[in-house]
Structure 1
Amino acid sequence: MTEPCQQAVPHIVIFDSGVGGLSILQAARQQLPHCRFSYLSDNAGFPYGNKPASQVIDRACHVLTSFTQQVKDVDIYVIACNTASTLALPRLRRHFSRPVVGVVPAIKPAALNSKNRYIGLLATPGTVKRSYTKRLIQEFAADCQVVCVGSSALVELAERKLRQLPITTDELLPILKPFLTAGKANPSPDKLDTLVLACTHFPLLAAEIQQVVGSDIYLIDSGAAIARRIEYWAQRIVPAGYSSQQPTYAWFTRDDQNIVELAPTLALFGFKSSRILP
């Protein structure tokens, strides 16, 4: 065990069912370059977006508890998954004594940004349907036209991209078409000027999405806001006492071929090796 040292810094674990949380990790690292980060992917439970609420809550609590039994110096937990955040945060905050930061769709900043009061919400089907999301729209975007589209396929495409596999415009266009064509939910598509990427996987495809929807539509996600919230807690907690030089890893809940394919991407995010959670 490494002895506490003067260079002790907060250790932050970023948790998601897949690798979408890497978008939150990227934003957090930019905001807090001195902190230690681990990444935890519940790839054995992936994806969360199409699972019953009780299953997501139980699964998230089980995986994070198992992780804490293996890695005992976690200072801040970040639930980098909209589905898990909207469902499991209350239970997780009761369970862990350290801060637990969640992710919510960036509906408030989107409404503030939109000049036309016309925004799009791109999320998983579960997030689109969830009452939590509807309350956010009512509270922060009640005066806006909000076009909601749910897609699980886009989650899979983001995972593919990070495994160095090609993504084509033809695959994205059917998913994004409801934002671009007139319909009952989108009577004036030319007015849509802001699009919320309400799943942490989706910012990983921001360049491809922007190419399809065009440069006139501003893409917004919650990465920067979550990074600021992590910084808030990092400034207020006493770290467990480990050096910034202590190694950290990308953790997974199942060993499979995808981890091998993800290795180059994980290296770009600062993880030279991965481990499997027992």
Structure 2
Amino acid sequence: MRQRRKEKTHFTRKIIAVILTVLVFVMTASFSSTATATVMDSDVIFVNKDGSRVAVDKSELLNTEEALKDMSQENVSLEDDELDKIAETSKRAAEDFNKRKASGSGDSSHNITIVDRDGRSYTPSFDEDWALILINKDHPIPDDYTFELATITGSVKVDVRAAESLVEMIKQARSEGIGLYVASPYRDLERQTYVFNRKKQYYLDMGYDEKQAYDLAAETVAPPGTSEHQVGMAVDLIASGYKDLDEGFAYTEGGRWLAKHGPEYGWLLRYPKG
């Protein structure tokens, strides 16, 4: 396993650098509690009027080429040397972006002091504190938030600062015989709006009013402007050999590997079971 970048500090290793939404780990279990499913980006779970929840096969919903883009399972099948080039290019691009951002930013957040569990204080540098941003329905994406995207392959894009670690994780999994697939990477505002409105329309067609449909849709799809996918900090992953979107993936070799090794690369299961 390639070692993580040496310039990372002890604090950086303790703080999760980016957020990984492994949808298949928690598809069924997390939806048993509204509190654990408030912003899950799913296209297969719906709530009936009696409160029961039902899984709908995605083929019943995504019946157009445009809609299928959301759940496309893109295998990062590049050779290792190609992945190495992507990782190195992304690393340089991230360093350049951080330098430009830091030199032109007067954001007072860079003057904060963080105290860890052991009582030690730490002042994060810009290339570290970018990952501390909280994005959800209560904390939408700031209007002045900027980032750059790196292309892993095809339409698979993530924040340039997260690309290197994602590539390294995929490479290591592959070296251990596990093929990882990206089911949903970065989405722009237009795409997120489309996905959310499609889910809301489902509930409108079931007879719910506008507010009810919005609230129900928001349980499983982040409203536009509140999704981590929109800033390239989240991806949905599945593994070869098991492509069903259900909690059974957690018990597969690929699921166990991600749960164990994801944090080593700065990626974590965003919505753990329970």
Q: Report TM bin, short chain.
A: under 0.3
TM-score (norm 2): 0.24
TM-score (norm 1): 0.24
Q: Which has the higher strand share?
A: 1
